[in-house]
Structure 1
Amino acid sequence: MKTKSNLLLALFACFMITACSTSVERLDSQEQVDLSGAWNDTDSQLVAREMIEDSLSRPWITRFITRTGNDPAVIVGTVKNLSHEHINTNVFIANMERELINSGQVQFVASATARQEIRDERSDQAVNATQDTRNAKSQEYGADFMLQGQINTIIDIDGKTQVRYYQVNLELISMQDNRKVWIGEKKIKKLVRFSKLRQ
């Protein structure tokens, strides 16, 4: 009887260990996975790609090249998260920067944070680097346009069903005279049905 009890106890312990263990599966980084219906990496990549492609297909870029003979220099400014949920806008900004640089149609200027770090390094070089290897100050490339925007949401809920609506608005602004040369808008709508077992 005691042996049977010990066996049952051992089986129960094995069951509990198995039931409580964590399972990890590696996925392709390009695979689309949507677990909660919230903004995710797929949304960030798709919206960045589509909006940058749209911006670079508009007349402002041709007009600038015709007038100056140069590719425009662009910097990405602030993208505000005005949504109901936490969205890492740094990831979205990085996705847009990648699309801009890889397009080959614009020159790209580093962000304010990155520029400050580089300026600190140049100041250090002025004191510590040899004259033939140091980089001089006041040689930075100025941006011609700044890209700014915001992410908004509207959440409609009925019981365990939600419609999650995302709207991303971006504006490209001339640094010379504050003119808006492009305004882009991307909308995403998701229907989310939660399991009856979910609390």
Structure 2
Amino acid sequence: MKTRLIASVSLVGLLAACGGPRAFTRGTYEDPNTIEMLSDQFNENDLQLIAKKMVESLANSPRFAQANPQPPVVLVGRLKNKTSEHIDMASLGDKIQTGLARTGRFALLDKAAREDLAEEYEYQGSGYVDSNAAKAPGQQASADFLLTGEIASIVQEVGGDKLVYYKMTAKLNNVRTGIVEWTDEKELRKKFEKQGISW
């Protein structure tokens, strides 16, 4: 009995030593565009590929391919996540907005900044700012187009194989008419294989 107890305590101690918490103490910078699939979840590479496709497609569409002295004003609106995973849709929206800005063909409105702008108007109208220099509400640009979209996914598992399919669909709606002036989609299909874990 005593030998058994000692063996059990030793085994628990050995397992604790092997499976105890580990700290990441050494690291290096890597190219954020390097494609690595460490898990079967939506990752930064998926986000980058989707954003790049949408920006290039919209910027090169016949409606917007030519530079305009008065670029169309675009508001990146709601991007919906229809998958069962957590996907940072705000980051995807920011990535698309940044890409569109870099083309120089679009003027962009920032939906998230609207509350901050309203506060700034209040401050500038409070008397602390020179009244001749103060900005007042009523002069903001209005959006010509609203960009919306959604990501959906299909997951299939057969035996040791897992297939994950994502589809991002985006639309650019004319705010005045409601007409969809542009739409496109990006598909991603990833295959994973289960591997046994060795001790």
Q: Fold match, TM over 0.5?
A: yes
Tell which deviates more after alignment, 50-59 or 129-138: 129-138
Tell which deviates more after alignment, 70-79 or 54-63: 54-63
Distance in structure 2 (CA, Å) of the matches to 1:26 and 1:84: 32
Distance in structure 2 (CA, Å) of the matches to 1:62 and 1:20: 54
Give how far 1:86 is off: 0.9
Structure-2 residue corresponding to 1:184: 184
Q: Deviations over 1:76-120 (max 9, x none)?
A: 000000012111101101100110111101111111x31122112
Kept in 1: contact 2:59–2:65 (CA 8 A)? no
1:18/1:133 CA distance change after superposition, 3 Å: farther
Alignment of 1:120-159 (within 5 A): 120-127=119-126, 128-159=128-159
Distance in structure 2 (CA, Å) of the matches to 1:155 and 1:186: 17
**1:46 lines up with 2:40 in the alignment:** no
Structure-2 residue corresponding to 1:27: 29
After TM superposition, which residue ranges in structure 1, 4 or more long, deviate above 6 angstroms? none
Give how far 1:158 is off: 1.4
Structure-1 residue corresponding to 2:58: 55
> Structure 1: which 5+ runs fail to align?
1-8
Distance in structure 1 (CA, Å) of the matches to 2:173 and 2:67: 13
After TM superposition, the score normalised by the length of structure 1 is: 0.83
Structure-2 residue corresponding to 1:173: 173
Give how far 1:59 is off: 1.8
After TM superposition, the score normalised by the length of structure 2 is: 0.83
Q: How many residues align?
A: 183
Question: RMSD value over aligned CA atoms?
Answer: 2.4
Greater helix content: 1
Kept in 2: contact 1:160–1:196 (CA 8 A)? no
Distance in structure 2 (CA, Å) of the matches to 1:41 and 1:136: 40
1:170/1:155 CA distance change after superposition, 3 Å: same
Q: Deviations over 1:153-183 (max 9, x none)?
A: 0000113321000000000000111000001
Kept in 2: contact 1:150–1:170 (CA 8 A)? yes
Q: Match of 2:47, SS?
A: helix
Counting aligned pairs with the same residue, the percent is: 23
1:73/1:159 CA distance change after superposition, 3 Å: same
Q: Match of 2:17, SS?
A: helix
Tell which deviates more after alignment, 88-97 or 131-140: 131-140
